[in-house]
Amino acid sequence: MCDPVTLTLMSVGASAAASGLKGTSDIMAAKAETKATRLETAAKNAALQEEADLAYIESLQAVNRRADEARKLHASNLAYVATSGGTNRSFTQGIAPENQRVLDRDIASLRLNERSQRKRIADTIKLNKANVEIAKTNESFAYLNAGANLIGATGSSAISGIDRINTYGTGSSGTG
């Protein structure tokens, strides 16, 4: 049979090995989680960027549609004046500036909506990137936690073994 010192050293070694395996497993899990978060975030951010680009294109299309409507309205007003004998030219001169103001307000509103949508998307992308950084930090903590657990388990096992040796003796002298 082995003496208590040898048994204590074997116990400390086994405890350190078990703690090391658990720490390695925790680190691998944290790395996998970080990688999954990074890949998921990249996919989400690509979709969000596509959404932002689409919002910009739709905004341009809406602005162009609204400008076309204003031009058609102006042409219709001119046609009305022409068909009424052309004597009411002041009608188009009075209504044209108001139509332009309405058009300018509509376009400004469309552009503001598009910018606010792009800002919301940009904020979401920043938040997603922050989540990746949090996952990286958690991975770093997994390393620290594994090291601390290894030290703690080894120390605890060593103290327990030393306590047993002090209680029961080394067995070498036969008296204890």
- In terms of DSSP H, where are the helices of the chain? 4-83, 89-168
Count CB neighbours of 126 within 10 A: 11
Q: Is 170 helix (H, G, I), strand (E, B) or coil?
A: coil
* Residue 102 vs residues 44, 66, 69, 106, 154: alpha-carbon distances, Å: 38, 10, 12, 6, 78
Predicted confidence at residue 44, as pLDDT, reads 93
Residue 173 in domain: no
Whether 144 is in a domain gets the answer yes
Averaged over 45-50, what is the pLDDT? 94
| Residue 156 lies in domain | 4-168
Residue 24 counted as domain residue: yes
Q: How confident is the model at residue 87 (pLDDT cuts 50, 70, 90)?
A: low
Instruction: Report the chain's terminal Cα–Cα distance, integer Å.
Output: 16
Note the pLDDT of residue 176: 43
Q: How is residue 97 written in tokens? A: 């500036």
Does residue 175 sit within a domain? no
Q: What is the pLDDT of residue 61?
A: 94
Q: What is the number of domains present in the chain?
A: 1
Decide if 19 is inside a domain: yes
Within-domain flag for 65: yes
Query: Is the residue at 34 inside a domain?
Result: yes
pTM listed for this prediction: 0.62
Residue 176 lies in a domain: no
Q: What is the pLDDT of residues 89-147, one digit of tens each?
A: 666 677 778 888 988 999 999 999 999 999 999 999 999 999 999 988 888 888 888 88
